[in-house]
Amino acid sequence: MIAQPYWLRLLRMFLALFLTTLFIVVISACGSSSSELDGPTEVVKIARNNCISCHGTELQGKMGPDTNLQLVGKRLSKEQIAEQIRTGGDSMPAFESRLSAEEIEGLAAWLSGKK
């Protein structure tokens, strides 16, 4: 077996370390998105716990175009959104018994800003 020069072994180790680091960075970025839910922490937490199963992790809608909330503030007022959350409608369940009035108002205010 021929001995490799020291610089070549060092270069290979550096290349392996670089590729491993690059792989970790790429893998950790998978699944992240610049359009993740943003807003008041408590409101976003309520949305994640109650809304994403039908409206999606980015409010893109999972049950058809009517469930897309990304621009809901253009279609509905804050009061209309709050009423929809409280009483439900079509295939949406009512959340009046699951969320407090303050939580509903917070969600409605946040969603009405989606324009």
High-pLDDT (> 70) share of the chain, %: 91
Q: What single-letter DSSP state applies at residue 89?
A: B
The domain locations on the chain are: 41-112
pLDDT above 60: residue 89: yes
Residue range 23-31: mean pLDDT, rounded: 70
pTM of the predicted model as reported, rounded to 2 decimal places: 0.68
Superfamily the domain 41-112 falls into: Cytochrome c-like domain (1.10.760.10)
Average pLDDT taken over every residue of the chain:
89
Place of tokens 């917070």: 106
Two structure tokens written together for 68: 């897309």
Give the pair of three-digit tokens for residue 12.
């290979």
pLDDT at site 34? 42
Q: What is the mean pLDDT of residues 86-109?
A: 95
